[in-house]
Structure 1
Amino acid sequence: MVFCFSGEALLKKAEDVAHGNLATETDQLNQEIEFDWDAVLDCVKKDLYFPPSWLFSIKVAKIEGRLVTLEAKSHFQALWVKNHYLQLINETAQSLYGVGRFQVTIDERERNSVADGAKKNNAAEFKAGDRSHDPQSVSFFSSTNTFENFVVGPSNQFAHAASYAIAENPGMAYNPLFIHSGVGLGKTHLLHSIGNHILQKYGNRLNTLCISAEHFTNGVVQSIKTGSMDKFRNLYRFNCDVLLIDDIQFIAGKDSTQEEFFHTFNSLYTAKKQIVITSDKPPSVMKNFEERLKSRFEWGLTADIQPPEVETKIAIIEKKAEEEQIEIPGDVASFIAQNVLSNIRELEGSVNKLFAYSRMFRERITLELAKQLLKHLVRKETPKIITIEFIQKEVGSFFDLSVKDLKSNQKQKKVSEPRQIAMFLSRKYTSSSFPEIGSKFGGKNHSTVVHAVKNIEKKTDKDPNVSNAVAAISATLEKFITS
């Protein structure tokens, strides 16, 4: 606790005591003392581990006798102050004004009326661009990322169902939940949807932290520099009921951060606190990660999100049009869905461009207009041909192996299984015969390739690691074909 008395104030107090001029505690309480919230806040920030910027927007709503009532701009801010800062604020007020002089609280009813749209989304105050160094200040859930506006299709329905299940009952099942996908396919949307749902259902009964792995890393580095690791650990290990961490691949190769996250994971998991992690790869193929961490990522449930099908993309476009209150013809939606091949972000970017043009120039959306504005999307080239050599290169890159390894006679699983996957994909994406495929893999015979193909076909139904690897590499190959 930081007691905010200046040297001059302490000297004056000592002189008063020496001359018998110091009033009794009862006399002090009877005096009219004005509550200075700025002074209290100034002292509070000195006791906090990186105070969030929004804390300084908290204002005094009213003062009635000894009761000081604060108000926040949003329901989420108010809950956070109540659960994390109110005790410190009252202790600081006591150090400044004496025990019992003021009692500080926060008025949820007044706060809810101040926060516009709070009933619709209690967490809408926090936006992606408003981040400070305090993990608490980035525990935000975007108001645009909810289960209600997440378009479900075959490519993401499993990840969506798992996310909704744990949001309903955190810590009861699927712990941890590990969601992986390529860029822009919706894993962050699901992460924020979980946070929004938990906040709406449980309110201040559960403390939920939603951060990026980069922010966790920065917190570790800063805590080491300032010698405040205890505060950092208390925040994540003992003051958190639900930890949502995005892009865990960021801590690859960062030994100190991995060590800290390992113990954080263990602490939360042992206490039956919910953990949700997102990544661009499944745990089994993550590089520069400790094996003990990778194994823990697989303790619960692993769910992947694949690139959306044309039907799902059309549904996303129509949902966007409905939200923007813009009419979009079916042939336009179909044109965009069939030509945007990378991810949902590019899909939404194309739709936004079309909508913006239509609004600015008051022009009706037609297929001709879409083709004109989005002509960069139209594929003019014939599909590219995939070769066995290209497949070998992509499989090697995915498993961190060389093409020479795949062609070798090594029988270790870490080499033989990727080799069989490469053979399986070669059969699927090329017109080569079994003997031709075998000749490209160091002269393997016909039966070896047949066995490899059949073995991977079986494993894709039973082994999630193989299934995830095949799906991820296939997505890369498909993108190459249509790019």
Structure 2
Amino acid sequence: MTANDLSVWLRAREFIKKELDNDHVFSIWFGSIRLVSSTEDSVTLEVQNKFFKDMLLDRYTKLINSSIAKSCGKEMRVEFALKETSADAAAKPPLDHDAKEKAQAKPFWPFSRDKQEPGKEIGLNSKYTFDSFVIGPSNRFAHAASSAVCDSPAKAYNPLFIYGGVGLGKTHLMHAIGHKVLQKFPKAKVLYISSEEFTNQLIGAIQNRTTTKFREKYRHVDILLIDDIHFIAGKESTQEEFFHTFNTLYDAHKQIVVSSDRPPKEIQALEERLVSRFEWGLVTDVQPPDFETRMAILKKKSERETITLPDDVYYFLAEKIKSNIRELEGALIRIVAYAKLVGKEISVDMVKDVLKDMIKEGEKKITIDIIQKKVCEYFDMKLSDMKVKKRSRGIAYPRQIAMYLARQLTDYSLPEIGEYFGGRDHTTVMHAYDKIMTDLKVKKGLNELIDRVTDSIKIS
């Protein structure tokens, strides 16, 4: 590989750095990438591990491709090679040869010296572990990120920011991180707390003039897990205190994990300096679980509670309760409790009666307007793009997906669907439906995409 080949990536890096306009994010995600080979029409970049590769593909594909195209003066195929061979390898710190033996002898993470007493001030729920967490397409990325944090605390993914709706597993993952870190690093100091409790304790410390003690508690831990950070939005004193707590921990190479019901930029009245810091590391989301994951969640919960239900009951629950995991598990416990109290055998008819309030609330009429809106949100399109005559793939394919979903999820006729899409002919709708049906059989990842969009439509 020539010096000229290397300059391709060096120039591309500069384009990426300028576009990101954030030196910290650039350093984390692009600082360690190197060019390992190139041909006339392709370049191969080496990345740390599979998780790192997936992150780049998910978040930065367009940026990387466009930057390399600018650097080369033409479109190039970009491929990734893994530095580590294990598909599930976590992000590990680079070790020089001389330090290898020492690093193997003791953990690299700079944990606190005082041993944490079991159960003292850590606030973890013993039920929320990685073993009890059900992995599916809706949470796979967040789960992988959480696992990586446990293997390499305070390295690439610091802070880790997990967002998503109520009852989708954010809190579960945070507790699981705490438990796993304590298993790997028994002397680590781990603290889980909700941002509401953080605020209340701060108010109490100010009133009682014990702010020094308050700061010692939160700034002398190895990993801080703070839930529902959106609660501090608009609370100036709390944000000020948390800002300095964050800086102290981060500068001391301590791990910070934060959760919210929305991404940092969408939290109104949250100071920009906090938004910026939350985006330093990795921001990932959890979505409503798909049908298969809901089934697995029910089976897992039944196993833990030593419950056995007929398969058709599991199927009915998974089909009808789609909004979040908490409701799903709550419904299971509710019907089992009812059956025990009244001495009835559990059946679908009994479940329909016991859960009629939950099921009725969950059944909403799906309209083409909702479908178009959700597809546009997913693909970051304008709603007007659903009706225009543009045929560029970036618009045409999402529009075909929306037509497919309109036929799958509504009772509208083909001509009626066509009218919603700018007065298109029914044959256009039929072609779109057939194309997506064919692609679902051959395109890897399309099924997951359709499931995600469908779930967002059904809970809207």
After TM superposition, the score normalised by the length of structure 1 is 0.55
Cα deviation per residue 1:287-326 (whole Å; 9 max; x = unaligned)? 1111111011011111100000011111111111111222
Q: Tell me the residue number matched to 2:356.
A: 375
From the CA coordinates, give the structure whose radius of gyration is larger: 1
Gaps of 5+ in 2: 1-111, 388-398, 407-416, 425-450
- Select the residue among 212, 221, 237 that pairs with 1:256: 237
- Are the aligned partners of 1:220 and 1:257 in contact in 2 as well (CA < 8 Å)? yes
CA contact (8 A) 1:178 1:303 kept: yes
2:62 matched residue in structure 1: none
Q: Does 1:478 align with 2:451?
A: no
Give, in whole Å, the separation in 2 of the partners of 1:215 and 1:268: 19
Q: Is the 8 A contact 2:264 2:279 kept in 1?
A: yes
Query: Residue type matched to 1:314 in 2?
Result: M
Is 1:144 aligned to 2:124, yes or no? no
Aligned to 1:170: 153
Aligned length in residues = 296
Q: 1:218 to 1:301 in 2, by over 3 A?
A: same
Within the alignment, does 1:185 sit opposite 2:165 as a pair? no
**From 187, 206, 216, the counterpart of 1:234:** 216
Q: What is the identity, as a one-letter code, of the residue corresponding to 1:171?
A: A
CA drift at 1:329: 1.6
Shift in Å at residue 391 of structure 1?
5.0
CA distance in 1, matches of 2:189, 2:364: 53
In structure 1, how many angstroms separate the alpha carbons of the residues matched to 2:338 and 2:370?
A: 44
2:286 to 292, 299, 305: 305
Q: Does 1:159 align with 2:139?
A: no
Structure 1: runs of 5 or more not aligned: 1-79, 85-107, 109-121, 124-135, 396-416, 438-470
Q: Give the C-alpha shift of residue 370 in structure 1.
A: 2.0
Q: Where does residue 285 of structure 1 map in the other structure? A: 266
Partner deviation per Cα, 1:119-141 (whole Å, 9 max, x = no partner): xxx64xxxxxxxxxxxx74x311
Q: Which residue of structure 2 aligns with residue 357 of structure 1?
A: 338
1:222 to 2:204 alignment: yes
- Of residues 174, 185, 199, the one that matches 1:202 is 185
Describe the shift of the 1:294–1:391 C-alpha distance in structure 2 as closer, same or farther (beyond 3 A).
Answer: same
Pairwise CA distance, 1:224: 2.1
| Structure-2 separation of matches of 1:475 and 1:290 | 32
Structure 1 residue identity aligned to 2:341: M
In structure 2, relative to structure 1, the CA distance for the partners of 1:188 and 1:421 (3 Å cut) is farther
Q: Secondary structure at the match of 1:211?
A: strand
C-alpha separation in 2, matches of 1:434 and 1:293: 41
Give 1:368-447 correspondences, 5 Å limit: 368-379=349-360, 383-385=365-367, 387=369, 391=373, 420-423=381-384, 428=402, 431=417
In the alignment, the residues of structure 2 paired with residue 283 and residue 234 of structure 1 have an alpha-carbon distance, to the nearest angstrom, of: 27
Indicate if the aligned counterparts of 1:145 and 1:189 stay in contact, CA closer than 8 A. yes
Structure 1 residue 423 displacement after superposition: 4.0
Change in Cα spacing, 1:225 to 1:390, as seen in structure 2 (3 Å) is farther
Give, in whole Å, the separation in 2 of the partners of 1:279 and 1:291. 16
Shift of 1:341: 2.4
Query: Is contact 1:391-1:425 (8 Å) kept?
Result: no
Name the CA distance, whole Å, in 2 between partners of 1:260 and 1:334.
48
1:322 to 293, 303, 313: 303
Amino acid at match of 1:143: S
Shift in Å, 1:218: 1.5
Q: In the alignment, is the contact (CA less than 8 A) between 2:289 and 2:322 conserved in 1?
A: no
- Percent identity, aligned pairs only? 46
Q: Which amino acid aligns with 2:179?
A: N
Distance 2:246 2:252 in 1: 10
* 1:295 and 2:272 aligned: no
Q: Which residue of 2 aligns with 1:268?
A: 249
Q: CA deviation at 1:425?
A: 7.5
The answer to which of 224-233 and 426-435 deviates more is 426-435
Match of 2:435 in 1: none
Q: Which amino acid aligns with 2:309?
A: I
Partner of 1:27: none
CA contact (8 A) 1:178 1:301 kept: yes
One-letter amino acid matched to 1:151: V
Q: Report what 1:340 is aligned to.
A: 321
Report the CA distance between 1:358 and its aligned residue.
Answer: 2.8
Say which SS state the counterpart of residue 387 (structure 1) adopts: helix
**Paired amino acid for 1:162:** A
Is the CA contact 2:227–2:259 (under 8 Å) kept in the aligned structure 1? yes
Mapped partners of 1:276, 1:283: distance in 2: 13
In 1, Cα distance between the equivalents of 2:133 and 2:173? 8
Alignment of 1:25-104 (within 5 A): none
Contact residue 318 and residue 328 of structure 1 kept, 8 A? no
Provide the rounded CA distance (Å) in 2 between the counterparts of 1:382 and 1:233.
48
Report the CA distance between 1:181 and its aligned residue.
Answer: 0.5
- CA pair 378-261 structure 1, distance change in 2 beyond 3 A: closer
Aligned to 2:42: none
CA RMSD of superposed structures (Å): 3.5
